[in-house]
């Protein structure tokens, strides 16, 4: 799991240098495998600039000559990219800069003097795109070192198999908040709902609730498919995902943010506007989003409409109802599928996706509506559109929260570490457990949050308390 | 191929403190008296709490080198307190008995002790290599 620190900072203040934070998290069992410094190699001479004037180079079919303003001077640059126009803000590598292996010097081309180079995302190492120059946000100040504008520190985490909740930036932020005693800020989207209620627009039938404990659906209409905002694309790239379009990017963004995989269907392509969650029938087939026709077996869970399969639950959507350039209404799925079922299906089909690898680690069913609401908010902001009132939510048996009787003696029994009741209450509360201490003894009742299905009994809580004590207190004997 | 040397102790008294003391002594016996060790939180299905033990890199003495990926520390082994469901599974009451367990890859120990850079040498059946031990 790759986490750009600027993104993490939306949910928690980071009070220490990245290396110290990495160490703190690693010692607490949240292993930082690598730290990537995007922009560390850009140096002083790749800066922000604005195209003041642009003209075609006579005698060339693709070159243009730009006068660019750095805030303090104007430089002439020969450029072959087709996407720039007057007024654009761009990354400029001045004479003396190094772009990858390329040293930038002054040169003469077709009678023009070129005093630098404008850079593409690929040249800067922040994306695959080499079709044009990286266009900066219009609000970017001129003459800034690019590293101060686009630089990023990215942590790569190795997530343990029992901690599905940490396959999300908010999950990691919760650990950071607990370990550094900072407040956690979770986005609380405010939606302006209008139009026909969702429940009148779509019907959802979950036939196999054993494999699908919860299925939540929302609808947004009158959207316009287009590119997602620059900051979102950059964050997705830094996290290792390729931007596609606003709707797809928002589903991916919220998946990374909350850990809840989402799938957008083109509402008009879901026949009879009826979603059926059921096991596949013998001989059924589906063409998935990657264009591959796949044979299904009856132990695989499907999303279907009355006429046939439209997605493989928790693994990949089908091509038939895919969001496309003409989509105007999105039916958004936020569901919870059984971990073992998704794992089996994904292995049988040889198809592992970002969604399936998350479902395999057991997700919190309480996440679905939070994730769907967040995606609706972002789609309304960045794809226009009308959020329809309400959620269609099939959630027949919400899990009862688990309560564990726990005591400071349990910690001492396994670790020989003496802790006070207050310390234990404090440590567990920071991690999101609800703790009611007993006033007459050193015991307490601990309610486990739904996002921690891995915590079952007192030994699990001992580990949590231990993780929160930074200085390896379990003294050697 | 996968080799592991395992240690398991169950009694009425042992704690994670004993586990740490035992493994510290093991690390120093294998890699020298001055060895620093540290325990990181981890996850294994059969222990709770779980940890991984690192030693300060014997190759660069903790300064940072290729073998330790410039961290100064090398992962040595996984360990933890025996999970209560394991104890219950063999008929021990986890409120009365407790235990610790650890597992070490012998190749890893040999690599660090003898500064062997190529793990495939262990299974290559090359007498020139094997006769050195
Ligand atoms: Zn080293």
| Confidence at residue B57, expressed as pLDDT on a 0 to 100 scale | 86
**Ligand 1 center–CA A148 separation, angstroms:** 33
Q: From its phi and psi, is residue A247 left (phi > 0), alpha (psi between -120 and 50) or beta?
A: alpha
State pLDDT tens for residues A58-96.
888 889 999 999 999 999 999 999 999 999 999 999 999
List of residues 6+ apart from A16 with CB closer than 8 A:
A24, A180
- Closest-CA residue in chain A for B41? A29
SS3 A310: strand
* % of chain A exceeding 90 in pLDDT: 86
pLDDT surpassing 70 at residue A474:
no
Residue located via tokens 């967040």: A374
Q: Which of B17, B20, B8, B26 is nearest to B106 (CA)?
A: B26
pLDDT in tens, A223-251: 999 988 888 988 998 999 988 999 999 99
Residue-averaged pLDDT of chain A:
93
Among the residue ranges A174-188, B15-29, B54-68, the one predicted with the least confidence is: B54-68
Is this model's pTM higher than 0.90 or not? no
Distance CA A296, CA A298 (A): 7
Find which of A413, A416, A464 to mutate to test the B interface (most B CBs within 10 Å of its CB).
A416
Question: Tokens 């486990």, residue?
Answer: A448
Provide CATH code, domain A402-476: 3.30.56.10
Query: Cα A272 from chain centroid?
Result: 32
Q: Which residue has the tokens 């690192």?
A: B54
**Is residue B57 helix, strand or coil?**
coil
| pLDDT higher than 90, residue A422 | yes
Overall average pLDDT of the A291-310 stretch: 96
**Domain boundaries defined on chain A:** 2-39+151-180, 46-150, 198-394, 402-476
The residue with greater pLDDT, A217 or A62, is A217
Q: How far apart are CA A384 and CA A302, in angstroms?
A: 30
For the record, the structure tokens of A109 come out as 């081309």
- Rounded to the nearest angstrom, the gap between the alpha carbon of residue A331 and the centroid of all alpha carbons in its chain is 20
Q: What is the rounded CA–CA span in Å between residue B39 and residue A342?
A: 34
Query: Is B39 in Cβ contact with A475 (below 8 Å)?
Result: no
Average pLDDT over residues A130-153: 92
Q: How far is B107 from chain A (nearest CA, A)?
A: 22
CA distance B92 to chain A (A): 15
Given CB atoms, is A471 within the 8 Å cutoff of chain B?
Answer: no
In which order are the strands placed within the sheet that holds A2-4? A2-4, A152-158, A31-38
Measured in whole angstroms, how far is the alpha carbon of residue B51 from the centre of its chain? 10
Do the chains contact at B20 and A474, CB–CB below 8 Å? yes
Q: Do A466 and B48 touch (CB under 8 A)?
A: no
pLDDT at A128 over 80: no
Asked if A116 and A93 count as a contact pair (C-beta separation under 8 A), the reply is yes
pLDDT of residue B26: 93
Instruction: Report how far residue A250's alpha carbon sits from residue A29's, in angstroms, rounded to the nearest whole number.
Output: 30
User: What is the distance in angstroms between the Cα of A457 and the nearest Cα belonging to chain B?
Assistant: 9
Mean pLDDT on B82-101: 96
> ipTM score here?
0.89
Residue A291: Cβ within 10 Å count = 7
Name the architecture of domain A2-39+151-180.
2-Layer Sandwich (3.30)
Structure confidence at residue A215 (pLDDT): 98
- Alpha helices (H) along chain B: 16-31, 84-89, 106-114, 127-130
Q: Show residues of chain B in contact with A474, CB under 8 Å.
A: 15-17, 20, 39
Is A162's Cβ below 8 Å from some Cβ in B? yes
CB contact set of A178 (below 8 Å; sequence gap of 6+): A427, A430, A431, A432, A468
pLDDT greater at residue A470 or residue A41 = A41
Compute the CA torsion angle A401, A407, A409, A414 (nearest 10 deg).
20
- Edge to edge, the sheet with strand A434-437 lists A403-407, A443-447, A434-437
The per-residue pLDDT for A279 is: 97
Identify the band that residue A293 occupies on the pLDDT scale cut at 50, 70 and 90.
very high
CA distance A158 to chain B (A): 11
CATH topology of A2-39+151-180 equal to that of A402-476? yes
Distance CA A442, CA A424 (A): 10
Mean pLDDT of B70-92: 94
Report pLDDT for A137. Answer: 87
Q: How many other CB atoms are found less than 10 A from the CB of residue A386?
A: 17
> How far is it, in rounded angstroms, from Cα B91 to Cα B98?
12
> Strand A203-206 to strand A274-279: parallel, antiparallel, or no bridges (unpaired)?
parallel
Q: What CATH number belongs to A46-150? A: 2.40.50.140
The span from the CA of A411 to the CA of A112, in Å, is 75
Segment A198-213 mean pLDDT: 97
Quick one: closest CA in B to A460, which residue? Answer: B48
Instruction: Decide if B89 touches A, using CB distance below 8 A.
Output: no
pLDDT at B46 over 60: yes
Residue A415 and residue B16: Cβ atoms within 8 Å?
yes
Q: How many CB atoms lie within 10 A of CB A125?
A: 14
Mean pLDDT of A455-466: 96
Name the CATH superfamily, with its identifier, for domain A198-394: Phenylalanyl-trna Synthetase, Chain B, domain 3 (3.50.40.10)
The answer on pLDDT for A107 being more than 80 is: yes
Q: Is residue B28 less than 8 Å (CB to CB) from chain A? A: no
Residue A350, burial from CB neighbour count under 10 angstroms (0-12, 13-18, 19+): exposed
Cβ <8 Å between A459 and B39: no
Contacts of A219 (CB under 8 A, 6+ apart): A198, A201, A202, A267, A329, A330, A331, A332, A387, A388
pLDDT band at B113 (very low <50, low <70, confident <90, very high): confident
Q: Residue A58's pLDDT is what? A: 85
Q: What is the pLDDT of residue B21?
A: 93
**pLDDT over 90 at B19, yes or no:** yes
Which residue has tokens 């029994």? A413
B74 CA distance to ligand 1 middle (Å): 7
Q: Exposure of B71 by Cβ count < 10 A (0-12 exposed, 13-18 middle, 19+ buried)? A: middle
**CA torsion A69→A71→A74→A78, rounded to 10°?**
-40
């Amino acid at each position: 799991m790759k986490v750009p620190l600027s993104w993490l900072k939306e949910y928690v203040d980071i009070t220490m240098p990245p290396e110290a934070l990495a160490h703190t998290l690693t010692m607490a069992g949240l292993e930082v495998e690598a730290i990537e410094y995007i922009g560390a190699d850009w140096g002083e001479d790749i800066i922000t600039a604005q195209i003041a004037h642009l003209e075609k180079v006579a005698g060339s079919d693709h070159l243009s000559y730009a006068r660019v303003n750095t805030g303090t001077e104007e430089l002439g640059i020969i450029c072959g990219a087709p996407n720039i126009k007057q007024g654009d803000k761009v990354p400029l590598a001045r004479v003396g800069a190094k772009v990858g292996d390329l040293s930038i010097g002054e040169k003469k081309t077709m009678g023009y003097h070129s005093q630098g180079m404008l850079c593409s995302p690929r040249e800067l190492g922040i994306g695959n795109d080499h079709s044009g120059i990286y266009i900066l946000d219009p609000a970017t100040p001129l003459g800034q070192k690019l590293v101060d504008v686009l630089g990023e520190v990215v942590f790569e985490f190795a997530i343990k198999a029992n901690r599905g909740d940490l396959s999300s930036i908010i999950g990691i932020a919760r650990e950071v908040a607990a370990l550094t005693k900072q407040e956690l800020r979770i986005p609380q989207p405010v939606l302006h709902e209008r139009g026909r209620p969702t429940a009148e627009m779509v019907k959802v039938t979950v036939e196999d609730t054993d494999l699908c404990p919860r299925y939540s659906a929302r609808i947004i209409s009158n959207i316009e498919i287009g590119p997602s905002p620059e900051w979102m694309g950059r964050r997705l790239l830094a996290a290792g995902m390729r931007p596609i379009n606003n709707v797809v990017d928002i589903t991916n963004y919220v998946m990374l943010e909350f850990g809840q995989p989402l799938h957008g269907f083109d509402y008009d392509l879901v026949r009879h506007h009826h979603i059926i969650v059921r096991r596949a029938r013998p001989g059924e087939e589906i063409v998935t989003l990657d264009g591959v026709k796949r044979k299904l077996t009856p132990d695989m869970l499907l999303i279907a409409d009355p006429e046939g399969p439209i997605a493989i639950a928790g693994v990949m959507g089908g091509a038939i109802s895919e969001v496309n350039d003409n989509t105007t209404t999105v039916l958004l799925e936020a569901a919870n599928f059984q971990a073992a079922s998704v794992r089996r299906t994904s292995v049988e089909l040889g198809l592992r996706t970002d969604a399936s690898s998350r479902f395999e680690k057991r997700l919190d069913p309480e996440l679905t509506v939070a994730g769907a609401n967040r995606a609706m908010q972002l789609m309304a902001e960045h794809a226009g559109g009308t959020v329809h009132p309400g959620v269609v939510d099939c959630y027949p048996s919400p899990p009862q929260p688990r309560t564990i009787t726990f005591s400071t003696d349990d910690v001492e029994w396994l670790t020989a570490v003496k802790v006070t009741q207050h310390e234990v209450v404090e440590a567990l509360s920071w991690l999101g457990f609800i703790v009611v201490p007993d006033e007459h003894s050193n015991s307490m009742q601990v309610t486990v949050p739904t996002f921690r299905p891995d915590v079952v009994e007192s030994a699990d809580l001992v580990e949590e308390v231990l993780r929160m004590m930074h200085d390896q207190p379990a003294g050697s004997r | 191929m996968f080799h592991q040397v395992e240690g398991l102790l169950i009694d009425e008294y042992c704690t994670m403190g004993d586990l740490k003391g035992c493994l510290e002594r093991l690390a120093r016996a294998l890699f020298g008296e001055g060895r620093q060790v540290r325990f990181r939180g981890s996850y294994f299905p059969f222990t709770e709490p779980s940890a991984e033990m690192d030693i300060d890199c014997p190759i660069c003495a903790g300064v940072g080198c290729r073998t330790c990926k410039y961290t100064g520390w090398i992962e040595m082994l996984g360990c933890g307190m025996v999970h209560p469901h394991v104890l219950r599974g063999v008929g021990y009451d986890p409120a009365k008995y407790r235990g610790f367990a650890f597992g070490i890859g012998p190749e890893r120990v040999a690599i660090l002790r003898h500064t062997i850079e190529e793990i495939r040498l262990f299974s290559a059946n090359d007498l020139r290599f094997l006769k050195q031990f």
